[in-house]
Amino acid sequence: MSAHRAGMTVWEVVLFTVFLAVAGGASVFFFFLNSEDVQYAQRKYEWVQDINRVLDAICLEVSNSAQFEHPFNGSSRECFFRVAGDAGTLLPEESQEGFAFVDNNLLYVSRSGDSTSNLRRFGSFENPLVINCREGRFTRISSDLLEIRFLAQAPGAFSGSREFLRRINLRNR
């Protein structure tokens, strides 16, 4: 004997309610992801990541230098070093390369003798490496340790500033 019932069973109502809740939750979640606050946070996070990538490249370049030149003692707004001239030796090149805080920007520079010039590129980064940075200092903490520290003002519509700090172990001091 089969009894045919008309209408919906309890399980069908429960299943429909669960699917409706999942669809409603997903739409609220995607609406949240597209909100201005989340997009603002994402852009600010990317800004911090970009500065950290630049600082990581600076740390690698300075730590691998053949000869560290400036600052010898204390702190300065400039940092100069000599890279290895030949890949097979660690003899330093004639010209010095380095980084300088100039006009609220962090620049990659080169100097030979009495002249200093801005270099166009540092690896995959273009000058200025970091813009809107204040109170930038390179501080020689010990014979084999250098610290770079600055406050970066958030660009455009972002508010506030953030302090960035790196300590660089000088391998070939």
More confident residue, 44 or 38: 44
> What pLDDT is stored for residue 92 in this prediction?
59
Give the dihedral of Cα atoms 104, 44, 99, 81; nearest 10 deg.
Answer: 160
Question: Partners of 137 in the beta sheet?
Answer: 149
Report, as an integer, the average pLDDT of 137-150.
90
Q: What is the mean pLDDT of the chain?
A: 81
> What pLDDT is stored for residue 85 in this prediction?
66
More confident residue, 39 or 130: 130
**Predicted TM-score of the model (pTM):** 0.72
Contact by Cβ (8 Å): 119, 97: yes
Report, as an integer, the average pLDDT of 87-99.
70
> What pLDDT is stored for residue 97 in this prediction?
86
H or E stretch at 27: helix 10-33
More confident residue, 6 or 39: 39
**Cβ density class 73-111: b for 16+ within 10 Å, e for less:** eeebebbbbbebeeeeeeebeeebbbbbbeebbbbbbeb
Contact by Cβ (8 Å): 82, 70: no
Query: pLDDT grade, residue 119 (50/70/90)?
Result: low
Domain boundaries, the chain: 32-169
H-state helical runs in 34-68: 36-63
The answer to whether residue 135 scores a pLDDT higher than 80 is: yes
